[in-house]
Structure 1
Amino acid sequence: MTTHATGTRDQWLAARLELLAAEKAFTRRGDELARQRQALPWVRVERAYRFDTERGAVSLPDLFEGRSQLLVYHFMFGPDYKAGCPSCSAVADSFNGSVAHLAEHDVTLTAVSRAPIDKLLGYKRRMGWSFPWASSGDSDFNFDFNVSFTEMQQRDGEIEYNYHRGRHAMDAEPAPEPVRQFAATCGTDAKTYARDRPGLSAFVLEDGVVYHTYSTYARGVDAIWGMYALLDRAPLGRNETGVWWKRHDEYAQR
């Protein structure tokens, strides 16, 4: 016997129409947020960053691949990781299908991590991904965009992440269980794992100049985490009691 509310079709329809009005208001609010996002002032990128890619060393303008817009997913894969973060891996699973559509609309999507390029490419092959991935290990790119931090910053509680300076949930002592769990799956310890964080940054290339236009972090990444948009529409929703997801090749066959 179900413990959830049940009713007639007419009762369901009345409740659904009430929800529809709320969903439409939410959609309109989302449209307005998109306009606000696009109205942010552009900040000229003054530093000359270098990245290692499958095709060799490149600059930040090179990452645009001839297009005018660039989306960078800050993928948690530090130099000492043995494998990429499971959460970032779940986010990135949806990238392959989006890359061609974005490219047609003058947008390049790439992942950037601090791990050496050979390690990134090996993991990319394991996951069956085709989207571009660059290593920023030899530059300050990750540090400048507040997704990587030094041991000293971590120790002193001087991490600036998600527009907040200080200690964050990932820096708690002792480390939260999900952080320890994910660190172990990445072949490292909790502190090392937590020195890299997820995020998404946007850039535009105009008249040969690169501008930073937008960055989002932490739960701001939920919007591009495909499985959650689907789960939010499933009968039981996210239905989470803890960390349940894994890399897609680690699930038992069902």
Structure 2
Amino acid sequence: MLETPKALPKTVSRSEWLAARKALLDQEKQLTRERDALNEARRRLPMVKLDKDYVFDGPDAKASLLDLFDGRRQLIVYHFMYDPDWEKACSGCTGFVDDLPVLKGLHERDTSLAVIARAPQAKLKAYAQAKGWDIPLYSSFGGDFNYDFQATTDEKVAPSEYNYRPRAEHIANNEPWFADGEHHGISVFLREGDEIFHTYSTYARGVEPVVPVLHYLDLTPLGRQGA
């Protein structure tokens, strides 16, 4: 979490501001070039063919992971934090869905997006209705999906690993919230015919690039203000 700056920027003349702004622009351009290189490296990651059939409870019917592609070649899954025992979902994940962009742009580029949580479908449907969402939420309750993709960690079910670090490392780093329970993240899949390949997953702050409100706030003097 990034803290709010304790002091406002100093006030200077327009010419001093312009010199500082141009210096910052050089840093921004360098970051853009580095981000382009990182995105290219991400696209070159090897992929893993899935050997498991995952089935989810949808708002109206059961759906396989293949169904979630909706005929498109790519699928982005947002791992939505909602434990079956919770009365309501994670506030951060709720904000993510609130701010989801129009999906038309993804669909036009052969890409679908699905939101999956471990809470039972009845809870998901009630929560979506209360929030006024029209995007379907899918439940992985009773299945392996969350555990296989680090969205739920429970040593009683499977060896715990989140953000590519084992449970013991999170405990040693005084980060018990990463050691057990529900977690947010994004996983990406590619379809070749009826075969599905896992290409990428990211967690924790790795999800920030798809959270628009954070990037808007990063442009301001007060920053994220604890977000």
Number of the residue aligned with 1:165: 166
Correspondence list, 1:59-138, <5 A:
59-95=64-100, 97-138=101-142
Shift of 1:224: 1.4
- Pairing of 1:140-151 with structure 2 (within 5 A): 140-150=144-154
Find the partner of 1:221 among 192, 204, 207.
207
- Asked whether the equivalents of residues 71 and 109 of structure 1 are also in contact (C-alpha less than 8 Å), the reply is yes
- Paired with 2:223 and 2:46, the residues of 1 have a C-alpha distance of 37
SS in 2 for 1:134: strand
Residue 54 of structure 2 corresponds to 49
Alignment of 1:237 with 2:218, yes or no, is no
For 1:41, what is the secondary structure of its paired residue? Answer: coil
- Aligned residue for 1:6, secondary structure, equals coil
SS in 2 for 1:23: helix
Pairwise CA distance, 1:48: 0.5
C-alpha contact 2:8 2:221 (8 A) present in aligned 1? no
Is contact 1:50-1:138 (8 Å) kept? no
8 Å Cα contact 1:150/1:195 also seen in 2: yes
Pick aligned residue for 1:4 from 1, 9, 13: 9
Question: 1:73, 1:111 within 8 Å by CA — same for their partners in 2?
Answer: yes
**Aligned-partner residue type, residue 162 of structure 2:** Y
SS in 2 for 1:98: coil
The aligned amino acid for 2:160 is I
Alignment partner of 1:30: what SS?
Answer: helix
**1:65 alignment partner AA:** D
TM-score (norm 2): 0.89
Secondary structure of 1:152's counterpart equals coil
- Which secondary structure state, in structure 2, belongs to the residue aligned with residue 130 of structure 1? coil
Query: For residue 23 of structure 2, what is the aligned residue in structure 1?
Result: 18
- Give the count of matched residue pairs: 220
Partner-residue secondary structure (3-state), 1:212: strand
Q: Which runs of 5+ in 1 are unaligned?
A: 180-190, 246-254
Encode CA deviations 1:165-204: one digit per residue, 9 max, x unaligned: 12426x959x67xx9xxxxxxxxxxx9xx51101000001
State how far apart, in whole Å, the 2-side matches of 1:235 and 1:42 are: 41
Question: Structure 1 residues 75 and 3, CA, compared in 2 at 3 Å: closer, same or farther?
Answer: closer
- Shift in alpha-carbon separation, 1:62–1:135, aligned structure 2, 3 A: same
Report the alpha carbon displacement of residue 159 of structure 1 after superposing the two structures with TM: 2.2
What is the TM-score normalised by the length of structure 1? 0.80
Alignment partner of 1:5: what SS?
coil
RMSD: 2.3
Counterpart CA distance in 2 for 1:153 and 1:162 is 18
- Quick one: which of 27, 44, 56 aligns to 2:32? 27
Aligned-partner Cα distance in 2 for 1:34–1:226: 18
Q: In structure 1, what residue type is equivalent to 2:78?
A: Y
Q: In 2, are the aligned partners of 1:51 and 1:138 still within 8 Å (CA)?
A: no
- Deviation, 1:41, is 0.7
Shift of 1:123: 0.7
